[in-house]
Amino acid sequence: MSKEYSAVDIQVIKGIEAVKRRPSMYIGDTSVRGLHHLVQEAVDNSIDEVLAGFCNKIIIIIHKDGSITIEDNGRGIPVDIHPEEKKPALELVMTTLHAGGKFDHKSYKISGGLHGVGISVTNALSKWLEVRVKRENNIYHQRYEKGIKVSELRIIGKANETGTIIRFLPDNEIFENINFDFEIINKKLKELAYLNAGIHISITDERTDVRKEYFFDGGIISFVKDLNKNKNVLSEPIYLRKENSIMVEIAMQYNDGYQSSVFSFCNNINTVEGGTHEEGWRTALTRSVNEYIKKNNFGDIKLTGDDVREGLVAIISVKVPDPQFEGQTKTKLGNSNIKGIVSSIVYEHLSNLFEENPAIARSICNKSISAAMAREAARKARELTRRKGILDVGNLPGKLADCQEKDPSKCELFIVEGDSAAGTGIAARDRKFQAILPIRGKILNVEKARIDKVFKNNELATLITAIGTGIKEEFDVNKLRYHKIIILCDADSDGNHISTLLMTFFYRFMPEMIKNGHLYIAQPPLYRVIKNKKSYYIRNDKELDRILDEINRENATVSRFKGLGEMDDDELRETVMSTENRILKKITIEDAITADEMFRVLMGEEVELRREFISNYAKEVRNLDI
């Protein structure tokens, strides 16, 4: 390596070449998530036209050749010559980072795309992209390949309307997989239709002839009703909308369940980590209910935020001219002034609503008081279990086979169903950094239980103690004893059920574990194939077919594991415990709304939802344990 370091060693990467060199800096990664971010950037431009009041229709088509079209009836990207750059504005938008109409608030007062890099990034990472613009009674066309202009802007026809049509094919030299997932795009579009009342959005998949169309005149009121579908609600949705310097729109509705589902958005971006808008709403809600209780002599009780949010489904949507998102992923709103604005609006609205609708106020107060009583019962149960030593981290559960390492960042905890499988796991583990905690059978379904029941459940109390962080408001990630919590269950239907119960527990009582990337699911083999004295361990049916085709099925012996207990310690070590060979799935909350809905379907009170889910997906099951 040369010791010389001068100006000639400095690389200047111009234009969108930087995007192609380091795509992950702009779209997160080059896997499924990054691929679909390309679509999101194009759709966001159309939504910005909706927010500006010039668009009410968006059409998405996934074509058979793998390309995708995003069309809107907005104003159309400008095509006239830019006075300084001497190029068509369209060409600048498509090929120049930080070129757009979203910086001075003249063209867009509100926008989700703030940096002007959106569609130029999509262009840079596409094998080819074609854009058609309908403006001034003409249809303009231009084509790009790998982000480079390959045709001049030209008129190809006449049009009576305005709008933009973008069609592109992702670059297969950049992305691991360029097959668009219909469901990922469909869920995002449905969400956008809820958040923008009156917009028509359709998506067609030409590969499967599937088409979905969305139009919600009720907007986020429809959103809340859908999330509360098949639940026993306490009243009609509470709705408020106020627009001054920012636009605040909130819909909320209580049901008789125990879990809360709160989703916040800023400029149509799902702020998964919340932020100042959500903080302002929480503060005003708790204050309003507590003041009504005190004023109307409900008793000497002080409610917490968790108490007043029990059984509540809420959508918080704000439209902000200059949003400040914490982090490039835009998952937390940081504008300090938003908290006070939202809090003031919500407090005024709820105070008036409670005075004018005492029946609604009483139902909310009674439910919140009931939640507070359960919280007090949970505190007593927690103190009782602590006195017994169950929740005392200094007195770790006897059935925990702990590891020797004391640095939590190097430690793993395997949660294993059954003493037999745990015994095999203890023999197979590396005792230096791997701990084993057996649980017995199917744990408490926390989707149907309040927090006081959690502390009375021995299996969950043992799990809480072993992890060390506490739960709910007591949760402290700094007390986490293992940075990898790994669910290890049988690869059959019972094992999947237990895994779902455990994930439900973490999602509802320790969501920070998932958000911080500490929760994993091990992937034990489902089959063992032996041929010519060589063993192959297979994790699913698709992989089984592939391996059998590769090695020739003749004289191959296939056996199916009924459970982890059937594996000896060498097999478990090789396939599940070994850091070199194992496959772990990290549990994430990429789409909190979908996750919340799925837990409600699989683990909630409504049998009909589960029956419908089973009916829809039963045909995909090849092996069922009965």
Element (H, E) at 542: helix 541-551
Mean pLDDT of the chain: 84
* 608 confidence band (pLDDT: 50, 70, 90): low
Rounded mean pLDDT of 22-30? 77
Rounded mean pLDDT of 492-498? 78
pLDDT tens digits for range 66-90: 999 999 999 999 998 888 878 898 9
Element (H, E) at 498: helix 493-509
* 337 confidence band (pLDDT: 50, 70, 90): very high
Which residues are known to be catalytic? Answer: 417, 490, 492, 494
Rounded mean pLDDT of 123-144? 95
What φ, ψ does residue 247 adopt, rounded to 5°?
A: -105, 125
User: 228: buried, middle or exposed (CB in 10 Å: 19+, 13-18, 0-12)?
Assistant: buried
- Confidence at residue 116, expressed as pLDDT on a 0 to 100 scale: 40
pLDDT tens digits for range 103-127: 444 545 555 543 345 788 999 999 9
Q: Taking Cα atoms as reference points, which of 236, 301, 258 lies closest to residue 454?
A: 258
DSSP 618: G
Asked if the model's pLDDT at residue 361 lies above 90, the reply is yes
Full set of structural domains in the chain with CATH: 17-214 (3.30.565.10), 220-376 (3.30.230.10), 393-525+584-620 (3.40.50.670)
408 in helix, strand or coil?
A: helix
pLDDT tens digits for range 435-486: 999 988 778 888 777 778 887 888 888 899 899 888 887 889 999 999 999 9
What φ, ψ does residue 607 adopt, rounded to 5°?
A: -65, -35
Number of other residues whose CB lies within 10 A of the CB of residue 170: 26
Could you tell me which residues come within 8 angstroms of residue 43 by beta carbon, excluding any fewer than 6 positions away? 58, 60, 70, 188, 189, 192
Could you tell me which residues come within 8 angstroms of residue 378 by beta carbon, excluding any fewer than 6 positions away? 450, 451, 452, 454, 455
